[in-house]
C-alpha cells in the first residue's frame, strides 16, 4: 500500500492539453443552457440557494474530512477524496435530475451557481483540508502548488467557458440551444474517451491498485448522495427538491479533479485512481438512483411542505 503514494499515472503534455480543451468544451456546452434568469430564480428562493451552497462547499468537504480521520486511508487516496469533495457538481447532474423527475430548473441553476463559486471555493477547500490532515499535508509539501496558480487554472477551465457560453446564449439564443444539443453529448463522449485512453495507457497501475479505492469510492459517493437527501429533508423541502439536492451533492465534476491532478500532481497514483473511479462510478450510481426515483416518484410524494 505504501507504494500507492509514489505511483504515477502517465499522461503526456499533449494528452493534458486535449483534456483541458475537452473539459472547457463540456463547460461551454453546459453554459449554453444557462441564462441570467437561472441566477435570478435562485435568488428568489434564497433558502434553496443557501442549502445547496452549504451542502456543496461546506458540509461535503467537512464530512469527507471526518471520514478520512475515521478510516485513515493512504495519504494519496485521502487527497483524492478531498479533491472530489472540493469540486463543484458534475455537468451530468442536470440530465440525471431530469431522469429522476426532480427539479431540473433548480439543478441547472445550482450547477451554474456552484460552477461560479468553484472558481474560488475549490482551491480553498482543497488547500484547507489537504493541509489540515498531516499525511496529506506532507504530500502537499513535496508538490509546488501556488494557490494563485490553482485558482488561475480553475478560472480558465470553468470561468471563461461559463461566461462565453452565457454570452452566446444571451445574444444568440436559438443558435445556443442548437449548439447545446450537439455539444453536450459529443463533448461528454470525447471527454470520457480521453479518460479511458489515459486509463488504457496505465492498465497495469489500475490492475494492481484499483481494488484499494473501489469500496472507498462507492462509500464516499453514497455518503455524498445521502448527505444531500438528509439535509434537504431536514429543511423540509419537497421530495422533488430533495432528489435534486441529493444528485447535485453526489455527482461531482471529477473531470476537473483529474485535470488538476495531472496538472499539479503529475498523476499521483492514489489520487488519480480514486478520482477516475469516482468519475465512472457516480455515473452508474446516479443513473441507477435516477431510474429508481423515476419509476417510484409517486410513492414518495407525501411531504407536507413544498419548497
In this predicted model, what pLDDT tens digit does every residue of 255-285 receive, in sequence order?
778 778 877 777 677 788 888 888 778 888 8
Is 280 within the bounds of a domain? yes
Q: Which residues pair with 253 in a beta bridge?
A: none
Give the residue numbers spanning the domain of 41.
2-300
CB 141 within 8 A of CB 280: no
Nearest 5°: phi and psi at 87?
-75, 155
From residue 212, alpha-carbon distances to 9, 108, 215, 216, 253 in Å are 15, 34, 7, 8, 22
Is 216 part of a structural domain of the chain? yes
The answer to whether 269 and 5 have CB atoms below 8 angstroms apart is: yes
For residues 244 and 79, give the distance between their C-alpha atoms in angstroms, rounded to a whole number.
27
SS3 (DSSP) at 74? coil
End-to-end CA distance of the chain: 47
Question: Three cell numbers at 298?
Answer: 409517486
Cell of 45: 428562493
Give domain status of residue 17, yes or no. yes
pTM of the model: 0.80
Task: Answer yes or no: is 307 within a domain.
Answer: no
- Which residue in this structure is represented by grid cell 446516479? 286
73 in a structural domain: yes
- Give the tens place of pLDDT for each residue, 18-42: 667 777 777 777 777 777 776 676 6
- Asked, for residue 306, whether it belongs to a domain, the answer is no
Helix (H) or strand (E) holding 153: helix 147-154
**Mean pLDDT, residues 173-177:** 82
- Range with lowest mean pLDDT among 23-32, 145-154, 161-170, 224-233: 145-154
67-94 mean pLDDT = 88
In the chain, how many domains are there?
Answer: 1
Task: Provide the mean pLDDT of the chain.
Answer: 79
The residue written with cell numbers 454570452 in the block is: 167
CATH number of the structural domain spanning residue 128: 1.20.1530.20
Contact 269, 7 (CB under 8 A): yes
Task: Give domain status of residue 71, yes or no.
Answer: yes
pLDDT at 303: 46
Q: How far apart are CA 161 and CA 21, in angstroms?
A: 10
Specify if 42 maps to a domain. yes
Task: For the chain, give the percent of residues with pLDDT over 70.
Answer: 78
Q: What is the dihedral of CA 271, 231, 306, 304, to 10 degrees?
A: 140
Amino acid at each position: 500500500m505504501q507504494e500507492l503514494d509514489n505511483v504515477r499515472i502517465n499522461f503526456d503534455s499533449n494528452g493534458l492539453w486535449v483534456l483541458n480543451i475537452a473539459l472547457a468544451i463540456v463547460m461551454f456546452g453546459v453554459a449554453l443552457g444557462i441564462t441570467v434568469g437561472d441566477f435570478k430564480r435562485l435568488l428568489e428562493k434564497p433558502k434553496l440557494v443557501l442549502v445547496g451552497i452549504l451542502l456543496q462547499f461546506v458540509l461535503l468537504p467537512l464530512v469527507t474530512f471526518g471520514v478520512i480521520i475515521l478510516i485513515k486511508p493512504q495519504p494519496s487516496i485521502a487527497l483524492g477524496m478531498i479533491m472530489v469533495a472540493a469540486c463543484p457538481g458534475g455537468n451530468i447532474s442536470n440530465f440525471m435530475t431530469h431522469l429522476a423527475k426532480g427539479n431540473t430548473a433548480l439543478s441547472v441553476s445550482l450547477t451554474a451557481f456552484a460552477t461560479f463559486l468553484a472558481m474560488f471555493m475549490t482551491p480553498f477547500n482543497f488547500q484547507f483540508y489537504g493541509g489540515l490532515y498531516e499525511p496529506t499535508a506532507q504530500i502537499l509539501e513535496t508538490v509546488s502548488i501556488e494557490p494563485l496558480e490553482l485558482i488561475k487554472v480553475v478560472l480558465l477551465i470553468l470561468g471563461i467557458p461559463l461566461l462565453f457560453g452565457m454570452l452566446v446564449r444571451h445574444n444568440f439564443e436559438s443558435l445556443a440551444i442548437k449548439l447545446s444539443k450537439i455539444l453536450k453529448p459529443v463533448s461528454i463522449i470525447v471527454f470520457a474517451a480521453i479518460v479511458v485512453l489515459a486509463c488504457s495507457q496505465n492498465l497495469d497501475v489500475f490492475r494492481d491498485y484499483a481494488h484499494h479505492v473501489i469500496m472507498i469510492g462507492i462509500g464516499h459517493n453514497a455518503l455524498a448522495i445521502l448527505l444531500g437527501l438528509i439535509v434537504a429533508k431536514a429543511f423540509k423541502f419537497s421530495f422533488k427538491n430533495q432528489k435534486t439536492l441529493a444528485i447535485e451533492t453526489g455527482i461531482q465534476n471529477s473531470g476537473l479533479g483529474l485535470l488538476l491532478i495531472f496538472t499539479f500532481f503529475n498523476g499521483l497514483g492514489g489520487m488519480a485512481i480514486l478520482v477516475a473511479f469516482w468519475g465512472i462510478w457516480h455515473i452508474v450510481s446516479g443513473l441507477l438512483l435516477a431510474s429508481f426515483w423515476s419509476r417510484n416518484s409517486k410513492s414518495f410524494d407525501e411531504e407536507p411542505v413544498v419548497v
